[in-house]
Amino acid sequence: MAAQQEPGPPQEKGDQPEKGAQVAAWLKKIFGDHRIPQYEVNPRTTEILYHLSERNKARDRDVSLVIEDLKQKASEYESEAKHLQDLLMESVNFSPASLSSTGSRYLNALVDIAVVLETKDTSLTSFIPAVNDLTSDLFHTKSKNEEIKLELTKLENNLTGTLVLEKCLQEDLKKAEQHLSTERARVDHRLQNMDFLKAKSEEFRSGIKAAEEQLSARGMDASLSHQSLVALSEKLAELKRQTRPLKKKLESYLDLMPNPSLAQVKIEEAKRELDTIEAELTQKVEMMEL
């Protein structure tokens, strides 16, 4: 037993040795021949163990009183049983020892039934209410079992529906994951194509810029740049659109029969205007080809 001392709450110094002796005696009684576990000895632990020993002693006294009471009641019951047996012998000259083996079994069965039914005696007036109560309890238990079976059936149906729903949800989730995987692959492919197109676009821009710088260094006319040629092409298209009415007008003049001299003049004017426009178009086309 460890004998370390530790400062604790103030205690009455005169009681500590006596309490310590009582605690030691109590522990020796509790553990008997076994070794007492080590613990730290100080006023606090001594006080706690002392209170525990006092409570243990009080409980032992209470248990002893209960045991004595039970012994007394058992003695009383034995005396009462002997008295009843003597009365039975005096009245009908009957003794359990005189019964046959079958009679003893019946008597023991009757006693066991009375104990199970918790009747005060083995008379018929005690057995009938007890049996009725037992029958009522049995009927109530059966009804409760039927209710539980119905509830269990409902739960099984709900469980079946839940399992079916879970299976459907799992299939939908699987399809959604497959669709998501397909869409992700498609998006990745588009991103790759976009990156490729961006790279090519940058490459073309760099090539165009380098070509423009090279042509500019060689003294190329700015009017022959890509943007200028595009604008010129648009102008040519506009000029062609404008010449269509003139051609139609010329054709209408060719169909005219009266006054040949006046018609010839108009035709010549239209031809000159058309030649001028065509010459302008040809010149611009040649400039584009150069």
At 147 the pLDDT is 92
CB 212 within 8 A of CB 261: no
At 5 the pLDDT is 37
**Does position 130 have pLDDT exceeding 50, yes or no?**
yes
At 229 the pLDDT is 67
Under the banding of pLDDT at 50, 70 and 90, the label for residue 262 is low
Span 216-244, average pLDDT = 70
Q: What is the DSSP string of 227-286?
A: HHHHHHHHHHHHHHHHHHHHHHHHHHHHT--S-HHHHHHHHHHHHHHHHHHHHHHHHHHH
How many CB atoms lie under 10 A from the CB of residue 23? 20
Under the banding of pLDDT at 50, 70 and 90, the label for residue 23 is confident
Please report, as a single letter, which amino acid is at residue 1. Answer: M
Under the banding of pLDDT at 50, 70 and 90, the label for residue 169 is very high
In sequence order, what are the residues at sequence separation of 6 or more whose Cβ sits closer than 8 angstroms to the Cβ of residue 127?
113, 114, 117, 119
Phi, psi of 36 (to 5 degrees): -75, 130
**Does position 8 have pLDDT exceeding 60, yes or no?**
no
171/174 Cα distance (integer angstroms): 5
139-154 pLDDT tens trace: 999 999 999 999 998 9
At 145 the pLDDT is 92
Average per-residue pLDDT in the chain? 77
The position carrying tokens 């976009």 is: 194
More confident position, 178 or 243: 178
At 3 the pLDDT is 37
* Residues counted in the chain: 290
| Helix 101-117 / helix 124-217 crossing angle, nearest 10 deg | 60
Maximum mean pLDDT: which of 44-53, 98-107, 122-131, 219-228: 44-53
Span 41-69, average pLDDT = 88
Span 121-129, average pLDDT = 76
More confident position, 88 or 14: 88
How many CB atoms lie under 10 A from the CB of residue 51? 12
52/58 Cα distance (integer angstroms): 10
**Does position 248 have pLDDT exceeding 80, yes or no?**
no
106/96 Cα distance (integer angstroms): 11
63/172 Cα distance (integer angstroms): 69
Q: How many helices (H) and strands (E) does the chain have?
A: 6, 0
At 257 the pLDDT is 55
Maximum mean pLDDT: which of 95-109, 123-137, 143-157, 212-226: 143-157
Handedness of CA 101, 104, 106, 109 (dihedral sign): negative
Span 75-84, average pLDDT = 76
The pLDDT > 70 percentage for the chain reads: 74
CB 24 within 8 A of CB 64: no
186-196 pLDDT tens trace: 888 888 888 88
